[in-house]
Structure 1
Amino acid sequence: MNLSVNKRTAYIGCLGVIGIISTEFGVIGILPQIAEHYNITIGTAGYLLSLFALSIALTGPFTVLYASKFDKKKIMMYAMILFLLSNVFSIFSPPFWLLMVLRILPTMLHPAFFSMAIAAATKDTTPQMQMRLTSIIIGGIALAQVTLIPLTTFIASMYTWQLSYVIQGMVILITLFIMYKFLPAMINNEVKSFKNQLGILIRPKFIAGTAVNLFLITAWFCSYSYFADYLSKAKGLSAQQISYMLLLFGVMGVLSNFVAGRLLGKYMTLTTLFFITGTFLVPFAFQYTTGSLLSVALVVGFWGIMYGPCFLIGVGYMVSAAPDAKEFANSLQTSFGNLGVSLGAATGGWFINQYGISITPWVGIGFGALAIIMILWRAWLDRGFNDGVPK
């Protein structure tokens, strides 16, 4: 595969990630409307996010191990079809239990999409180019936060939350066509044994990287999961103003993800420590904001910068410790990342129910501290030995 094909695969993968992430995280912007529609608490509505993520965490590694036998293009397209079906049937606002089932439906191939896209885009490239191509794909997360998520939140504030699923479904349908037309077949001719891939689970560096990924994402999603509800109730913003804040948050995330993609390959520890300080600084920043929209916007922009590369950091830490089993490492990053989303949403929801919405930014500090400990452990391991694989 030549570099131009690698880049084309990465950008198509990025487009697919935009559709997937808008489905996964787009619900954050409309949680208040969903809670009102079904007459449930915001914490209960948050299960739409936390159970989605938990399902990915539990099933991801197994589905990727199985799917790695097949054509990567087909697996990526099957994943998009499941997300399309989920969005189409959610438009009709079914009973809450059925809405939950429809949310969980596409999770079985969610990690497989990420794993196959990254593996296909980075095939036969240098380690530094691998991080850049990976940042393009993972950048779809930030792009979803700057495009579809604020757009669907704005549309929901003007009309109805069901239109969010209409927009997300259209984007996924377009992505499916582009994949079918422009993505080459990617038959897997090097099927690795399950035993060889599972061997990465006992490597200290991989364990440390997994812990960094888990705690970092948990720290951020304790607060990000309730972004809309916090800005509405604690800061008094309207639904339209919240959509603008989501847009600002996403723009800053895109920029920081771009910068981090170039720094992580050279200065992984220092880059990660820099961005993780945001889990400590954002709560203090919100504590001292005035009632003005400008002060809230400044903090939200800073929040977006510090949060933006968290998924890319997770990929970097886990894949760098398993260069001989990248697809499985990618699937585990997606699974543990989504376990972090689930744990963060559940933890944030519990604290909100106990102490009120104003506590939201503070909940993640403990997980941020745990992430720093794991980062320092990984740095120590990197200097000491290489787990028997190339550094």
Structure 2
Amino acid sequence: MTKQLFPLALGGLGIGTTEFVVMGLLPDIANNIDVTIPVAGHLISSYALGVVIGAPVLVALSAKFAPKHILIALMILFTVFNFLSTIAPDYYTLILSRFLSGLPHGAFFGVGTVVAAKLAKEGKSAQAIASMFTGLTLANLAMVPVVTFVGHHLHWRYAFAIVSLIGIFTIFFLYKWLPEQKPLRTITFKEELEFFKTIKAWHILTIVAIGFAGLFSWFSYIAPLLIHVTNFEAGSVSYLMVVAGAGMVVGNVIGGYLADRKSPVKTLIFLLSMMTISLLLIFFLSQSKSISVFLTFICGTLAMALSSPINMVMLKSAKHSAMLAAAFLQAAFNVSNTLGAFFGGLPLVFGLNYNYPALVGASMAMIGVVLCVLFLKRYNE
């Protein structure tokens, strides 16, 4: 990773921490604010909804400015809104603060994706993008487990205080090390929107929204799954999140490598097929501790490996609308987060066990495979 890409990765570290730490602390938050786990799961959906709304809107409003200034402004918003979660007095205020925290998420990654690609050497665009997402993977490998441990043993509010601190450091390094670039918009906003009048654009977004939701259906409820089905101690969840994070680090490298050398769409078909199989195995075999640990690593690997190929599919398809397309892609990721958390929680509402969200996830991942096959046949990519 270059010095220029480091601030983007650091921002990804903060974003990844705040997005995923709630999943590990869900039982603690639910108990503290006196709601059920499925209701507390709406905190995940609220954040994701903020990303969906914030990504295209903030990019559209800011695209005429230099990307360095956009990224600094987005990280200021991210830091302030995450700090609000540390002082939220009740469930409804926390829901609102989580929604506001999500607003700059997609726009940061959307602008950062295009910046990283422009800073990359010839033929290394996907690996440069993967470098930016290194922060996201390290969040799951190190920061999320550490912050989950702190939140579980001290108080969950400390998690958001730590995220706010990461945000402050990110602002500093964006200012110091990210080079100045001209505004990324080369056409009018109206012309950018032309791409989103095509079936191809919405086909890509639907692959993400539905296919990738399989991951979130499982991961949103990983803490109660490991505690109530696999029978791990609650204090062990933070260590088990390290396993998922290690998988994501490996998957990020694999995804960047494959996306620069193989057909991104064929790579997606393979990875989503493997995700389907892995989630089915979790549903049937999650009572086994050793198998659960192994599958947690595999699903983490597959989840992050999907990122670079789908980003390359979108950037190649969007061409002159790259920044807005990248923002919409981040919105679609978080639509998948919302759908996964919602549909994954439905079996729990009806009294089924905590392994059932993985079954829902396998179904959604399989739909993603079908959508990718149809995309390959239609566009021959």
User: Are 1:260 and 2:255 counterparts?
Assistant: yes
User: Are 1:277 and 2:273 counterparts?
Assistant: yes
Counterparts of 1:1-391 in structure 2, within 5 Å, are 7-123=2-118, 125=120, 128-188=123-183, 190-267=185-262, 268-287=264-283, 289=285, 293-354=289-350, 355-383=352-380
Q: Secondary structure at the match of 2:3?
A: helix
Per-residue CA distance 1:219-249 (angstroms, 9 max, x = gap): 1111111111111111111223211111011
Higher mean Cα deviation, 303-312 or 248-257? 303-312
Alpha-carbon distance in 2 for matches of 1:273, 1:127: 26
One-letter code aligned to 1:364 = G
One-letter code aligned to 2:55 = G
Higher mean Cα deviation, 149-158 or 107-116? 107-116
CA contact (8 A) 2:140 2:245 kept: yes
Deviation at 1:190, TM superposition (A): 4.8
Alpha-carbon distance in 1 for matches of 2:119, 2:22: 37
One-letter code aligned to 1:231 = L
- Give the 3 Å change call, closer, same or farther, for CA 44–322 of structure 1 in structure 2: same
- Give the 3 Å change call, closer, same or farther, for CA 331–128 of structure 1 in structure 2: same
- Give the 3 Å change call, closer, same or farther, for CA 124–204 of structure 1 in structure 2: farther
- Give the 3 Å change call, closer, same or farther, for CA 194–279 of structure 1 in structure 2: same
Please provide the CA RMSD for this pair.
2.1
CA contact (8 A) 1:311 1:337 kept: no
Deviation at 1:372, TM superposition (A): 1.1
Deviation at 1:120, TM superposition (A): 1.8
Deviation at 1:44, TM superposition (A): 0.9
Per-residue CA distance 1:17-51 (angstroms, 9 max, x = gap): 11012112211111110000011011111111112
CA contact (8 A) 1:218 1:367 kept: yes
Alpha-carbon distance in 1 for matches of 2:84, 2:119: 40
Alpha-carbon distance in 1 for matches of 2:182, 2:129: 20
Structure 1: gaps of 5 or more residues: 384-390
CA contact (8 A) 1:15 1:175 kept: yes
- Give the 3 Å change call, closer, same or farther, for CA 290–125 of structure 1 in structure 2: closer
Deviation at 1:317, TM superposition (A): 2.4
CA contact (8 A) 1:69 1:191 kept: no
Alpha-carbon distance in 1 for matches of 2:328, 2:41: 23
Deviation at 1:195, TM superposition (A): 2.0
Per-residue CA distance 1:76-115 (angstroms, 9 max, x = gap): 1122112222232322342111111111223332222112
TM-score (norm 1): 0.90
Alpha-carbon distance in 2 for matches of 1:48, 1:189: 33
One-letter code aligned to 1:334 = Q
Number of aligned residue pairs: give it: 379
One-letter code aligned to 1:42 = I
CA contact (8 A) 1:208 1:377 kept: no
One-letter code aligned to 2:367 = L
Alpha-carbon distance in 2 for matches of 1:188, 1:286: 46
Alpha-carbon distance in 1 for matches of 2:354, 2:184: 52
Alpha-carbon distance in 2 for matches of 1:148, 1:272: 28
Per-residue CA distance 1:145-182 (angstroms, 9 max, x = gap): 11211111111222221221222222222222111222
Alpha-carbon distance in 1 for matches of 2:185, 2:92: 41
Higher mean Cα deviation, 217-226 or 269-278? 269-278
CA contact (8 A) 1:57 1:339 kept: yes
Alpha-carbon distance in 2 for matches of 1:262, 1:294: 29
Alpha-carbon distance in 2 for matches of 1:213, 1:9: 29
- Give the 3 Å change call, closer, same or farther, for CA 381–233 of structure 1 in structure 2: same
Alpha-carbon distance in 2 for matches of 1:248, 1:173: 28
Deviation at 1:287, TM superposition (A): 4.5
Higher mean Cα deviation, 32-41 or 283-292? 283-292
TM-score (norm 2): 0.93
